[in-house]
Chain A
């Protein structure tokens, strides 16, 4: 699979926010077809107080991390120590088009990645970011700002909002080279009067959201011609095929790694690849 000439083989990557840092991702170099970083902002963020994660049922993970990250400069400095045999995709999050552009400048100066993913979809941001970009109609502006500062492929990360096809179309019109979807689905984990995440509201991931992801991918596929990276609840080779059937060209995996140690995760990915491509 190619995104604006960038080969991703196998077309399986990690979802942003899982494995997150260059040194953890180093374990999966060559095991995944591309490595995706944690969403990074201009300034360092500590994220929400714990609990930031809870799994009330086997197929349902809730999280509200609060986009913790060391900030673009520190993240890029760490990334610069590494070299990978597969593409490294930097994920960016911000409140304004200018902030996204400034982050791109920092990465291009310190550790130019192979592509950027723009997180305009985190459903539980602390500030005016993430899904606020969609709500405030800033997706096209953000995309244009980033494209003006880099020639690298740009992937727009969307969530399952109504009329997601239209948002995808706007992103592509503004220069996006691919669409990835979906981000987590907003939810509230409340039991016996206790909020189970410190932020109260969080995002749902895992097998429970697969039908939502499939529908979103189908709508995006119908609206745009660029490659689509499907995600949301993928665990098995059959799940991957379902996403491909709905229109995805590649897939990303997140919650499936919940509780897996590094060796188990590598083994799982080898098996998945074998099942899909041999």
Chain B
């Protein structure tokens, strides 16, 4: 882990009105799937999961961002970037999917919704290298969104039925047959992750279900405290250092799906 900000040259790989895929070329340290980086532009600094990484011919990190906020927001600025512009990256930070729980000899079920799909695609690459059997289940709003991610999954759902099964990603559980030794990796909007974890729990123990949690973050090194998330007991984890990948047993019955933290540190209902 490096706290130094690495200057990177950006390339816009793809862009829709809502989503952007950025490549950052620079002397970046390799991430484990599920780890994240802090990206700094002229507006502010924000966390992004690694969507892809390679250091084969050149060192490059890909991230996928969704446009949020007004025209002066951090992500709006990302949409204004041109090829060759400079951006700063520090990281990688946090615990990845496999740090939370790895079971090399069991089938891995990867369940991704929307923006949660790219980090799982990066995990899938690694699982393929180690030849761990895996089943990829993804859900998006429509075919265009799926095409943007470029995901190639065995089980697909879209809300409008333009690709795969019409419905939401948890419906895809009807098409698969996990067993009690399966391991689940889940990434997507918080409500979707909770729903998927509840389905997965019908097959296996919560300690075999890994979620990639997203929280507002300021520092990424465990000092600010604003990414705290309570588990079932009173004590809280800090998502940036204790996560973002957590097994479900650590979070079930706590803040997940119920509470979030404001930039002031105020804990409020989701």
Which of A's residues lie within 8 Å of B, judged by CB? Answer: 17-24, 26-27, 38, 44-47, 49-56, 63, 65, 68-71, 74-75, 78, 81-82, 196, 198, 254-255, 257-262, 265
Q: What distance in Å separates the Cβ of A200 from its nearest Cβ neighbour in chain B?
A: 14
Cβ contact within 8 Å between B218 and A50: yes
Which of B5, B222, B225, B236 lies in contact with A38, CB distance below 8 A? B225
How many residues on chain B are close to A (CB under 8 Å)?
35
**Which of B3, B4, B265 is the one whose CB lies under 8 Å from A69?**
B265
Question: In the complex, A54 Cα to B2 Cα: how many Å?
Answer: 11
User: Which one, A23, A69, A75, A258, contacts B228 given CB within 8 A?
Assistant: A23
Question: Which of the segments B19-27, B38-46, B169-177, B198-206 contacts the partner chain?
Answer: B38-46
Q: Find chain A residues with CB under 8 A from B264 CB.
A: 44-47, 68-71
B263/A262 in contact, CB under 8 A: no
Given known pairs A53-B221, A262-B241, the reply for A27 and B235 (CB within 8 Å) is yes
The main secondary structure of chain A at its interface with chain B is loop
Q: Known contacts A23-B235, A53-B219; is A259 also within 8 Å of B265 by CB? A: no
In the complex, which residues of chain A have a beta carbon less than 8 angstroms from the beta carbon of B228?
Answer: 21, 23-24
Cβ of B260 < 8 Å from any Cβ of A? Answer: no
Contact with A along B227-270 (1 / 0, CB 8 A): 01010011111100110000000000000000000111111000
How long is the Cα–Cα vector from A265 to B225 in the complex, in angstroms? Answer: 14
Q: Is the CB of A258 within 8 A of B45?
A: no
Inter-chain pairs besides A24-B235, A257-B223, 12 sampled, C-beta below 8 Å: A21-B265, A26-B234, A26-B236, A44-B266, A46-B264, A52-B218, A65-B224, A69-B264, A71-B264, A258-B3, A259-B1, A261-B222
B224 A74 Cβ-Cβ under 8 A: no
Q: Is the CB of B235 within 8 A of A50?
A: no
Residue pair A52, B266 in contact (C-beta under 8 Å): no
- Chain A residues with Cβ below 8 Å from B237 are 262
A–B complex contacts, Cβ < 8 Å, 25 sampled = A21-B225, A22-B234, A23-B236, A24-B225, A46-B264, A50-B45, A50-B218, A52-B224, A53-B218, A53-B219, A53-B221, A54-B3, A55-B221, A56-B4, A63-B219, A65-B224, A68-B265, A70-B267, A71-B264, A78-B267, A255-B223, A258-B221, A259-B222, A260-B241, A261-B241
Give the complex CA separation of A20 and B242 in angstroms: 16
When distances are taken between beta carbons in the complex, the residues of chain B under 8 Å from A257 are: 222-223
B235–A26 touching, CB < 8 Å: yes
Interface set, chain B 15-54, CB cutoff 8 A to A: 38, 40, 43-46
**Known: A47-B263, A51-B44, A53-B218. Contact between A68 and B226, CB under 8 A?**
yes
Q: With A50-B44, A81-B234, A261-B95 known to touch, is A19 a contact of B265 (CB < 8 Å)? A: no
* Top 10 closest pairs, chain A to chain B, by CB: A23-B236, A70-B266, A20-B225, A55-B3, A51-B45, A26-B235, A50-B45, A53-B219, A261-B241, A46-B263
What chain B residues lie within 8 Å of A71 (beta carbons)? 264, 266
Do A53 and B223 touch (CB < 8 A)? yes
In the bound complex, what is the Cα–Cα distance between A38 and B264 (angstroms)? 11
Question: Which residue, A22, A53, A81, A198, has most C-beta atoms of chain B within 10 A?
Answer: A53
How far, in whole Å, are A50 and B226 apart by their CA atoms in the complex? 12
CB-defined contacts of B219 to chain A, threshold 8 Å: 52-53, 63
A50 to chain B, nearest CB (A): 4
